[in-house]
Amino acid sequence: MPTDRDVAAVLGRLSRVPPFAEVPSVIEALARNHRLSPISNTDDDFLAGTLEGLGPVFATTVTAEQARAYKSNPGLFQFALRKLGVDPADVLHVAQGTFSDLAGCSTLGLRVVWVNRKGAALQEGLEPIAVIDDLSAFPT
What CATH number has the domain bearing residue 57?
Answer: 3.40.50.1000
The total of structural domains in the chain comes to 1
Residue 24 has pLDDT above 90, yes or no: yes
- What span, in angstroms and rounded, lies between the C-alpha atoms of 1 and 67? 31
Query: Residue 74 belongs to what domain range?
Result: 4-137
Task: Note if the pTM is more than 0.85.
Answer: yes
Contacts of 17-24 with C-beta under 8 Å, sequence gap 24+, read: 17/50, 18/53, 19/53, 19/54, 20/117, 20/134, 20/135, 22/134, 22/135, 22/136, 23/54, 23/135, 24/53, 24/54
Say what the pLDDT of residue 52 is.
Answer: 83
- What span, in angstroms and rounded, lies between the C-alpha atoms of 125 and 75? 20
At residue 111, the 3 state secondary structure works out as strand
How do residues 78-124 score in pLDDT, each as one tens digit? 999 999 999 999 999 999 988 889 988 988 999 999 999 999 999 88
Residue 15 has pLDDT above 80, yes or no: no
Q: How far is CA 34 from CA 77, 110, 120, in A?
A: 19, 17, 29
